[in-house]
Copies of this chain bind each other. A is one copy, B any other.
Amino acid sequence: MSEGKLVYRFHEGSADLRDLLGGKGANLCEMARLGLPVPPGFVITTEACLRYYEDGRRLPEGLWPAVRDHVREIEAAAGRSFGVADNPLLLSVRSGARFSMPGMMDTVLNLGLNDETAAGLARRTGDERFALDSYRRFIQLFGKVVLKVPGGAFEEALTDARRRAGVESDAELGDAGLRRLVESFKGMAREHSDSPFPEDAWEQLRSAVEAVFDSWDNPRAIAYRDHHRISHSLGTAVNVQAMVFGNAGWDCATGVAFSRNPATGARELYGEYLANAQGEDVVSGARTPKLIKELADEFPEAYRQLGATADRLERHYRDVQDMEFTIERRRLYVLQTRVAKRSALAAVKTAVEMVHEGLIDQRQALLRVPAGELAQLLLPRFNERAKKQALRQGRLLARGLNASPGAASGRVVFDAARAVAIAEEGDPAVLVRPETSADDVHGIIRAAAVLTSRGGVTSHAAVVTRGLGKPAVVGCEALRVDPASRHLSVNGHVVREGDEISVDGFTGEVFTGRIDTIAPDISGNGELVELLAWADGARRLGVRANADTPADARLALAYGAEGVGLCRTEHMFFQPERLPLVRQALLSARAASELERRVEEGREAVTQAEGPARGEAEQRLRAAEEELDHSHEWHAYRHALERLEAYQREDFAAILRVMEGRPVVIRLLDAPLHEFLPPYQSLLQDVAAMRASDPDAPALPEKERLLEAARELHEANPMLGHRGCRLGLTYPDIYDIQVRAILEAACDLQAEGADVRPEIMIPMVVDASELHAIKAHLERVAAEVMASSGREVRTRFGTMIEVPRAALAAGELAPEVAFFSFGSNDLTQMTFAFSRDDAEEKFLRYYLRRGLLPANPFNSLDEKGVGRLIRIAVEEGRAANPELELGLCGEHGGDPESVSLCHRLGLDYVSCSPHRLPVARLAAAQAALGEAERLDV
C-alpha cells in the first residue's frame, strides 16, 4: 500500500477521487469547490481504512495527528472550539464508501458534547432544549455505534418519555423530559460498556472514526455487498464535518431533496423535510415529514436557494441529484449530494428528457437506464375493473404514500423471517411493518410488496423497494401495526398474519383480499418508446419473442419483436378440445401401427414374390388390408391425427399471419408423450383404490388403459428421456402431421398473397446422423405438401442446441441446417445436472444462500459452463457453415447479463417472452455500446 495522503480537506478533493474519498466525500469536496454552502470539513481516505485493517484495526501512523490538524482548521473556519465548553464546535462523523450502501454503515452526529460543552452550547445559543436534544441524540448514536448498546433500549426509553409527556413526537419533548433522557441514556451506556461515558471530545472523535472503519466489516454490510456484488476490499472513507443544526428551533429544518421526481421522473424539486429535527428523523420515518413544496411557504429563501442548488448540481453532474440539506436559523446548508436512485419509469423519463435538454447524448441515456428494471414498466397493475369492484365491496383498507410502483396481492407477514418462510413456500407475502430498517432487507427482497405505517417517500422502505422494483405503500398512518400480536388494525378492522391484502404502489391504496393484476401497455409511454428506438439503432443483436399463440405474437409485435424465435407447439395439444384426441391417438398408436406395419410388409412381400408365392402373398396382403380397414382402433387413430393436424394448421396460420414478413421459428413437439396423460402416480392410486374398494366391480377399461399407457410411457428421468426428435424418429406420425400443418398453413397464406416465413426447429438433437435422418424425412413431407398445393414456400430447417453433446458436435450439425437456437433452459439442466423441477427447492436455494454458485444459472446464463458450450457451438458451427444463423430462446433471453453474454458470444439474436422484450432490446444496445466503449480504450 502506498504511503499516500490520508486526509483531504474538502477544498483539496474532487468528484474524480471517489475511490479514495468515497462517494459522499468526493461529492462534498466537489460541492465545496463549486462554492456551494457546505459546512467545513475533511475526508479520511479509504486507504486509511484499508491500512487500519492491515494493521489489525489500528489507526495508521500519522493519521491521528493529521486529523487533529484538520479539526483545528474547522475550528478556525467555524469560529468555534472542539471540546471547549465556551462556544463548542460539534462534529458529524459519517461513513462514505465508493459505492452507496444506504444504512449499512455507521455515523455519529453531534460529537464533542459532554456535560460541560452541552451546558456551554445551551449558554451560547440560549436554547437549553436544543442543547439537551443534541446531547441525547449524541449519546444515543454514540452509544449504539461506538459502545454497541442495543438500539432498542434507547428507543424504548424515548417512547416511554413521549408517553409520560403525553406528546407524539420527540420534537415536542420539553427540557425536563430531555434532561431525564440524557441521564438515563448515559446510564444505559455506562451499564453496557462497564465504564463511564467518554467525556473527552478527542477520545470521542477517535473512537467514532474507528467505529466507522469497523462498520465496513459488520455482517449487515458484508451481506449487502454480497447481494450487490460489491468488492469487500474497497474500505470506507470517513467524513468529518462541522455540525449544522436542523434541530435548533422552529426556524431550523432538515430534509432530503431530489432535483427531479424519483418516482415519476417529472422535472420538479421533490422531497420532504422536518422542521426542528435532525436528518435521521426524516430518513427513519419516525415522524412523517412535510412535502418539499411546503418549504416554499415556511422557508422561502432557503427554498429558492435549494432549487438553484439542485439545478446547478444537476447541470454539473448531468444527472438527477439526491441531496441532504439542513436549514439552520433559515440558512441553507447542503450536507450531501449523490446520483438519485429512481424508479424505472423515472429513469427512462429523465434519461430521454435530458437528451432533449442537451445535458447528455443518446448513448449516455441508453447506458444510464438499468435494462433489467424496464421489466418494472411492464409490472402488473391491478385490473381496473377488479379494483373498482373491490372499492364497491368496501375492501379499501387504507391509503398511504405511493412509494414504489407496481401492484401485488399476498399474505400479510409481520417480520422478515416470516416473509422468507412464506416466499419459500411459494406464496407471495406482503411485509407489513411500522417502519423498516436494514434488518428487514432480506425479507423485503423476498416479499411481493411492502406496507409501512410510518415513513415517507424517502424512508428506508421506499428506497429499498424502488431499487428492487416491487410495490410499496409507506406512511399509511391509519394502520395500527402490532407485530407482537401478529395483526394490524384500521379503525377496528383487524387483519391477521396470513390474511391476504393487496398493495397498489401506483396509487398508495391498500385493499383487503386479492385483486387480479394485468400487464400494462407500453405504447402510452412516449419516452420509453423513444429510448427503445434509440436502443434498436444501437444494438447489433436481433430480438425475437417466444410466442405460442396469436395473442402472444401480437403482444410481441407491440413490444418490438423482429420475429418469433420460439413457438412451442406443446400447448396446441393441451387445449381442452384437443387433449382427448391426443389421448385417443396415444392409446391406439401401438395397435394402429402394428396393423400398418403388417400391410406394409404384405406389400413388400408381393413385390418380391414370384410364381405361385405371389398369389399367396397377395392373399395375405388383402387379409392385412381388410383387418386394418375393419379396425376401430386404426380408424380412431387416423381420425385423431387428422383432427389434430387440422387444429394445428389453424394455429400456425394464425401466428404466421400476425407475424407476416417476419421469421417464425416453430419447434416440433419437444415434450415427452406421458405429459399428455393424467399423472402416472394419480392413475396408480386411482386404480389401486378402485380395485381394493370393490374387487368384484367390472373392470374400468378407460382408467386401466390410461394406466397401462402411462406405465408404458413412464420414465425414470423424463428430462433425459424419450422426447424431442427421439419421438420424432420413433413415432414419425407426430412430426409428420406437424410439418404438414405448417406447410399447409403456409401454402394457404401464400395463396392469399401473404409473405410467410416458417422455420422448422428440430429439438433434442445429439448427433449429425440423427439430424440428417429426421430432416431428410421431414423435407420429403414438406415437399409432398408443396407439390400437392402447387406452391413453393421458403421453409428453413434448424436445430435446437439444448443437449451438451449437440454443442460439442456443432461442427457436424451446422452443415445440415440453416440455424441453431440455443435452448439454454435445458442446456443448463444437462450441463449442471440440475433438474429444474426439483433443484430450487431441494438444494439450489441452499447453494445460492451459501454463495456456492454466483447466481441461479436458470436466471443468469452460466458463462463458465453453459456459455462455454455455446461458444464452442458458435465457433465450430460458423466455421462449418458460415451462413448459419444463431439464436438463443431460453428464458435467459430476457436477462440483461445473459443478453450481454449472448452479444459477446456473437449470436445473431435472442428470443424472450414478450414482456421481457424491452429489457432485451435495451440490454442488447448496452452490450453493443459497452463493447464500443471497450474498443475505444
Contacts and interface: CB of A to CB of B under 8 A. Distances in A.
Contacts of A729: 843, 846-847, 850, 852
Contacts of A773: 850, 852
A908 interface: no
A831 interface: yes
Interface in A675-721: 680-681, 684-686, 688-693, 715-721
B833 A720 contact: yes
A496 interface: no
A716 B719 contact: yes
Nearest to A720: B835
Interface centre among A692, A717, A722, A764 (most CB of B within 10 A): A717
A718 B721 contact: no
A191 B864 contact: no
A336 interface: no
Interface residues of A, number: 64
A221 interface: no
Nearest to A694: B692
A691 B839 CA distance: 32
Interface in A812-838: 812, 826, 829-835, 837-838
A824 to B, nearest CB: 14
Contacts of A180: none
A808 B688 contact: no
A611 to B, nearest CB: 7
Interface string A368-391: 000000000000000000000000
Contacts of A837: 715-717
A526 interface: no
A857 to B, nearest CB: 9
Nearest to A681: B684
A769 B832 CA distance: 14
A790 interface: no
B829 A720 contact: yes
A899 interface: no
A268 interface: no
Given A684-B685, A692-B693, A864-B808, A853 B770 contact: yes
Contact of A610 (B192, B718, B769, B852): B192
A889 to B, nearest CB: 17
A154 to B, nearest CB: 15
A764 B847 CA distance: 14
A764 B833 contact: yes
Given A689-B691, A716-B718, A720-B717, A730 B610 contact: no
A148 B866 CA distance: 57
A765 to B, nearest CB: 10
Contacts of A829: 720
B832 A717 contact: no
B717 A842 contact: no
A838 B803 contact: no
A499 interface: no
B865 A721 contact: no
Contact of A766 (B718, B826, B832): B832
A110 to B, nearest CB: 26
Contact of A804 (B721, B766, B831, B853): B831
Contacts of A717: 717-720, 835, 837-838
Given A684-B681, A833-B766, A838-B715, A809 B720 contact: no
A126 interface: no
A865 B833 contact: no
A622 interface: no
A882 interface: no
Interface string A724-747: 001001100000000000000000
A868 interface: yes
Contact of A842 (B715, B831, B869): B715
A566 B300 CA distance: 82
A865 B835 contact: no
A707 to B, nearest CB: 11
Contacts of A833: 719-720, 764, 766, 802-805, 826, 830
A802 B832 CA distance: 10
Contacts of A769: 851-853
Contacts of A770: 847, 852-853
A11 to B, nearest CB: 44
Given A865-B766, A865-B805, A611 B192 contact: yes
A767 interface: yes
Interface string A769-781: 1100100000000
B726 A843 contact: yes
B684 A842 contact: no
Given A688-B688, A773-B852, A853-B767, A834 B865 contact: no
Contacts of A767: 852-853
Contact of A865 (B691, B719, B808): B808
5 contacts: A681-B684, A717-B718, A729-B852, A770-B852, A802-B833
Given A192-B611, A830-B831, 14 more contacts: A685-B688, A688-B688, A689-B689, A689-B691, A716-B718, A720-B835, A722-B838, A729-B846, A730-B846, A767-B853, A804-B865, A805-B866, A808-B864, A812-B864
Closest 6 CB pairs of A and B: A689-B692, A717-B835, A720-B835, A716-B837, A805-B865, A685-B688
Interface of A: 191-192, 610-611, 680-681, 684-686, 688-693, 715-722, 726, 729-730, 764, 766-767, 769-770, 773, 802-805, 808-809, 812, 826, 829-835, 837-839, 842-843, 846-847, 850-853, 862, 864-866, 868-869
